[in-house]
Amino acid sequence: MFQIDKYQYSIGEHHGQSVIWVHFPYNLESLSHLREHVKARWSQSKKCWFVNDISIIGSYIVKNGRERILEL
């Protein structure tokens, strides 16, 4: 199960695509956990991990907090 509370999120754009930036203190365990569950990619220019924002879920997480996503 994905541990959503390990990370912080923000909505953004990268190379013209809507993305969700995933923020966390770097450690191999958190990175491995993230990449096991989503197709996260590293942005060298932004120095941050991101996933494609392909639904309204990304906006919901950022606006309502990670606790509320569990209600969906």
> What values do phi and psi take at 49, rounded to 5?
-80, 150
By three-state DSSP, how is residue 21 classified? Answer: strand
* CA–CA separation, 15 and 1 (whole Å): 30
Whole domain around residue 41: which residue ranges? 8-65
The answer to whether residue 42 is domain-embedded is: yes
Question: pLDDT tens digits for the chain (72 residues)?
Answer: 888 889 999 989 999 998 999 999 999 999 999 998 888 999 999 999 999 887 545 555 655 555 444 443
Q: 43 lies in a domain?
A: yes
**So what's the pLDDT on residue 71?**
42
For residue 35, is it within any domain?
A: yes
* Residue with token string 């996260």: 40
Examine residue 51 and state whether it is found in any structural domain, yes or no: yes
Q: Residue 72 domain-assigned?
A: no
